[in-house]
Amino acid sequence: MTNLIGQYPATRMRRNRKTNWSRAMVQENTLSCADLIWPLFIIDGDNKTETISAMPGILRYSVDLLVKQVKIAYELGIPAIALFPNTPNELRTQNGEEAYNPNNLVCKAVRAIKQAVPNIGIICDVALDPYTSHGHDGLMNGNEILNDASVNVLVKQALTQAKAGCDIIAPSDMMDGRIGLIRQALDQAGYEQVQIMAYSAKYASAYYGPFREAVGANNQLKGDKKTYQMDYANSDEALREVALDIQEGADMVMVKPGLPYLDIITRVKAEFKTPTFAYQVSGEYAMMQGAIQNGWLDEDKIIIESLMAFKRAGANGILTYFALKAAKLLHSSDQPHQP
């Protein structure tokens, strides 16, 4: 930092911190319910929930119960939810055809939510891992993940979701060129108003383990995803990925995982000045929740502090499994995000 002005004792940095009102007046970043996106897991059946052992407090919901959760989120001021299916094993195939079945779990959920809570945003994941028997985000030939053939299927999946009523298509597959081809297909089909939130800087991370249990892919995955997800040693590469996705038509971009990648969020926001989102992923949630349950961390305080870190780094919003709890905290009389 250059051109520092002031010197002790004339300058006393603590003066601005001495009262609640003074701290509030000089606070540089704020967190609100509008910053939160709630990821939700869907299962088949009626009036049914399932626990997720690696994500204490998080449930999978059948569509009817999912709608009730979405209503709660909307009433709390959460602007959007993100949907992830746990596809029955008998529907998982080598080529993931269930991904573009108009009656799959995601499409059923989208239609039900649109009918019951029409003014909440719905974000749909575009990737094949919840639908393939091998657990990868694309099609396979031997041990190779096929890029262009996979993109053709992803386009079909995106169109199916848009037809069901999805507001934001969110490709998380990391195949090259998929944003441009999805944008072109959406526009040609009359869905030019459907937004694209690109998982642009998605790293091959160990933090995804609990999520794979949540969508039932943990026992499906053959090998790893390092040939298409990013190397976590790389930072400049993330800027190239983001630049390509913006050029191809992405309306918003995402960095995933979250807290260990705040430097990437800051670089992306500074470089492109485009709506930038972060995903506080399942492994981050599991670590924090484990410490909370052991009494090592104060739940209310750590949730809000961790989410504020994303805002300070430059994120416009955060996908977080703490969304509902955070929204309730932000509505409470003693909001812990306040100075």
Which is the catalytic residue, given 202, 225, 269, 311? 202
Nearest by Cα to 99 from 14, 164, 189, 54: 164
| 113-122 exposure pattern, b = at least 16 Cβ within 10 A, e = fewer | bbeebeebbb
Domain count, the chain: 1
Instruction: Evaluate whether 286 touches 210 at the Cβ level (below 8 Å).
Output: yes
**From 225, 256, 269, 311, active-site residue:** 256
Q: Residue 180: which domain range?
A: 30-331
| Structural contact between residues 198 and 252, judged by C-beta atoms closer than 8 angstroms | yes
Helix count and strand count (H, E) for the chain = 11, 12
Per-residue pLDDT of the chain (339 residues; tens, 9 = 90+): 556 788 899 999 999 999 999 999 999 999 999 999 999 999 999 999 999 999 999 999 999 999 999 999 999 999 999 999 999 999 999 999 999 999 999 999 999 999 999 999 999 999 999 999 999 999 999 999 999 999 999 999 999 999 999 999 999 999 999 999 999 999 999 999 999 999 999 999 999 999 989 998 777 788 899 999 999 999 999 999 999 999 999 999 999 999 999 999 999 999 999 999 999 999 999 999 999 999 999 999 999 999 999 999 999 999 999 999 999 999 985 444 443
Say if 18 falls within a structural domain: no
Q: What is the DSSP letter of 135?
A: -
* Residue 4 domain-assigned (yes or no): no
The structure tokens listed for 207 are: 């933090």
Residue 12: inside a domain, yes or no? no
Q: Is 78 helix (H, G, I), strand (E, B) or coil?
A: coil
Q: Are 252 and 275 in contact (CB under 8 A)?
A: yes
**Which pTM value belongs to this model?**
0.95
The CA distance from 253 to 276, in Å, is: 5
Q: Is residue 17 part of a domain?
A: no
Give the domain CATH number at 141.
Answer: 3.20.20.70
From the centroid of its chain, how far is CA 70?
A: 16
| Residue labelled with tokens 């072109």 | 184
Helix (H, G, I), strand (E, B) or coil at 182: helix
204 lies in some domain: yes
| Secondary structure class of 166 (helix, strand, coil) | coil
Asked whether residue 5 is domain-assigned, the answer is no
336 found inside a domain: no
The DSSP secondary structure of 253-319, one letter per residue, reads EEEES-GGGHHHHHHHHHHH-S-EEEEE-HHHHHHHHHHHHTTSS-HHHHHHHHHHHHHHHT-SEEE
**Structural domain includes residue 196:** yes
Cβ burial of 101 (10 Å; 0-12, 13-18, 19+) is middle
Active site residue 68: no
Tokens of 131: 């639908």
Please say if 226 is a catalytic residue.
Answer: no
Query: Scanning the structure block, which residue is given the tokens 């053939």?
Result: 149
Contact by Cβ (8 Å): 73, 36: no
